[in-house]
């Protein structure tokens, strides 16, 4: 009979993926409820402080458990700082402002398009090529179209159901 430890070790990747999906699934409603209690800027500051505490805790745990640490080179420090500022102040703050003025579902739908916009920005800055998948390019455009269709199918179907219910009430 396998022990709990051996089962966890055998399925740790699947369990980790499940935990991540659960956290992502409940994050928008939890943030929406928190925004009912806090101002957007105050909530962003609290999240930022919590993120710092968590990041330093993980870093200290990793250094303690592995006994090794890596140094960030000076050349990478500016890129790291810029990505942190852009990623946190722009992405998270704008997402929270959007969540404050809309539903959790609509906000999640908008945030799900972030990889698409990031790819388009990288393509526009000529830092990445975007291709149809012919010859030697990666098929990113078909994947992006499928992603957009999939993300927008739910609101379209939901809108049609609302219209049908409204029509049936009129009769």
Which residues are within 8 A (CB) of 120 and not within 5 positions of it... i.e. 6 or more apart? 130
Residue ranges of the domains in the chain?
1-104, 113-171
Q: pLDDT per residue over 16-28, tens digit each?
A: 888 988 887 788 7
Amino acid 109: pLDDT: 73
Q: What's this model's pTM, rounded to 2 decimal places?
A: 0.53
Cα angle value 128/130/134 (rounded, 5°): 135
pLDDT bin (cut points 50, 70, 90) of residue 59 is: confident
For residue 91, the 8-state DSSP code is: I
For residue 156, the 8-state DSSP code is: H
pLDDT bin (cut points 50, 70, 90) of residue 67 is: confident
């Amino acid at each position: 009979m396998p022990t709990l430890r051996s089962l966890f070790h055998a399925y740790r990747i699947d369990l980790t993926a499940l935990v991540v999906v659960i956290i992502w699934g409940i994050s928008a409603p939890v943030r929406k409820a928190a925004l009912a209690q806090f101002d957007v800027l105050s909530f962003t500051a609290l999240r930022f402080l919590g993120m710092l505490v968590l990041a330093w805790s993980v870093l200290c745990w990793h250094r303690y458990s592995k006994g090794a640490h890596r140094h960030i080179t000076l050349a990478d420090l500016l890129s790291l700082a810029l990505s942190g500022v852009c990623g946190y102040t722009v992405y998270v703050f704008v997402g929270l402002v959007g969540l404050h003025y809309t539903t959790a579902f609509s906000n999640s739908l908008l945030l799900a398009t972030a990889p698409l916009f990031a790819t388009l920005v990288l393509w526009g800055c000529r830092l990445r090529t975007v291709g149809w998948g012919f010859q030697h390019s990666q098929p990113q455009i078909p994947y992006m179209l499928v992603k957009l269709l999939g993300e927008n199918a739910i609101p379209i179907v939901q809108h049609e159901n609302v219209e049908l219910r409204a029509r049936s009430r009129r009769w």
